[in-house]
Amino acid sequence: MKKILAVFGTRPDAIKMCPLVLELKRRESIEVKVCLTGQHREMLDQVIGIFGVTADYDLAVMREGQDLSDITSKIIDGITPILQKEKPDIVLVHGDTTTAFAAALAAFYLKIPVGHVEAGLRTYRIDSPYPEEFNRRAVSLISTFDFAPTEAAKANLIGEGKAPERVFVTGNTVIDALKYTVNEASHSSGRLVLLTAHRRENIGEPMRNIFSAVKRVAEKYDDIKIVYPMHPNPAVRSIAEEILGDCDRVELTEPLDLVAFHTLLAQSYCVLTDSGGVQEEAAALGKPVLILRDTTERTESDSLMLVGTDEDNIVREFERLLEDEELYNTMKNAPNPYGDGNASARIADIIERI
């Protein structure tokens, strides 16, 4: 028996790790245990509830307005005795969160091999996304096994000197997650635009620009409706409520559970987002995306367009997408490079073999 400890703790890493945990549980040669860091709370609990994943450990580190040093130190302190007790053969972490970085570091100090799911994404700008570019590069320094979602991600890792025989291209497990949530009832309905925004480097002026641009376009086109499930971060909410609160065609909601969010995504006309995972999901569902960031590590799909955080530029590109049918159709029909929904099975096969 191989013992695997899967560690995650935010909404996005939970969405992308739950399908893998369920797949590992189906394998007879693997014993899998789950340690939640609780970096997020309501948003995390919503996700694991949908997948029916239960936790063996929960570090419960979330506090309102927590800073990055607090999260990091609490996770290292909390997980170290669990690693010492469980002595797993491999610790699995996901992506670029502080949870992934801190858990990988704690495993490294105890000389426990780390497997990195969604490895190799890069902008090569340490400040964008912040602090995620640091987190994922730091995990790559530590990890023994890298599960890269695409060939481009693998190429980044090889370019950084990682051993090719331990870098596996598997697809992204977020596409596996869609199999649990998107059903036949999900179909397009009018010109619904889905908006998400939460990145730390956008909080402040860039986020004000984003919301002001959205407001200008919403007030100009009476055939669109924009839905923005707000991130719980109070710093994000106060800007959203101030700028978009009185805008009739923009609906501000609480974070949606994953089934509701994927249903809305499948029904939408296009997406505006600074999220990472939403870019991949939208590409898989044929929804054009305007990326509200200066950089993106998702460079493989022609359905994604980087528009930055300049107000006039967002307005211009958003209007172009609403008016230029040829552009819209080209983006909508671009192939999905992020996987076929079998990434978890590939990763589980590899873990059984190594």
Binding residues (CB under 6 A) for ligand UDP: these are 11-12, 15, 174, 196, 198, 229, 255-256, 258, 261-262, 275-278, 281
200 given a catalytic annotation: yes
Closer CB to ligand UDP, residue 86 or residue 96?
Answer: 96
For residue 10, state whether it binds ligand UD1 (rule: CB under 6 A): yes
Q: Output the smallest distance, CB 49 to ligand UDP, in A.
A: 12
In sequence order, the β-bridge partners of residue 145 are 115
∠226-232-237 over CA atoms, to 5°?
Answer: 60
* Token code pair at residue 109: 């100090």
Q: Is 237 in the site for ligand UD1 (CB under 6 A)?
A: no
- Residue of 94, 116, 122, 198 marked active site: 198
User: What x-and-dash track marks residues 194-233 binding ligand UD1 by CB under 6 A?
Assistant: ----x-x-------------------------------xx
Backbone angles phi, psi at 32, to 5 degrees: -115, 135
Nearer to ligand UDP, 306 or 327 (CB): 306
132 as an active site residue: the answer is yes
Q: Which of residues 16, 40, 215, 346 is near ligand UD1 by CB under 6 A?
A: 40
Q: How far apart are CA 234 and CA 237, in angstroms?
A: 5
Distance (Å, rounded) from C-alpha 211 to C-alpha 205?
Answer: 10
257 is catalytic: no
Tell which one of 7, 21, 30, 97 touches ligand UD1 (CB under 6 A).
97
Examine the residue annotation and report whether 118 is marked as an active-site residue of this protein: yes
Q: How far apart are CA 280 and CA 303, in angstroms?
A: 10
CA distance 205 to 183: 38
Q: Of all residues in this chain, which one has the CB nearest to ligand UDP in the complex?
A: 275
Which range, of 7-15, 78-86, 149-157, 183-191, touches ligand UD1 by CB under 6 A?
Answer: 7-15
Residue 282 phi, psi dihedral angles, 5° rounding: -65, -40
R_g over Cα of the chain: 20
Size of the site for ligand UD1 (CB under 6 A): 22
Longest alpha-carbon distance in the chain: 61
Structure tokens at 118: 């969604």
User: Does 52 participate in binding ligand UD1 (rule CB under 6 A)?
Assistant: no
Binding to ligand UD1 by residue 65, rule CB under 6 A?
A: yes
Q: Read off the tokens for 193.
A: 């635009």
Tell me whether residue 10 or residue 150 sits nearer to ligand UD1 (CB atom).
Answer: 10
The sign of the torsion formed by the CA atoms of 308, 313, 318, 323 equals negative
How many Å apart are CA 322 and CA 327, to the nearest integer? 9
Residues marked active site are found at 96, 118, 132, 198, 200, 231
Q: Interface residues with ligand UD1 (CB under 6 A)?
A: 10-12, 39-43, 64-66, 68, 96-98, 131-132, 198, 200, 232-234
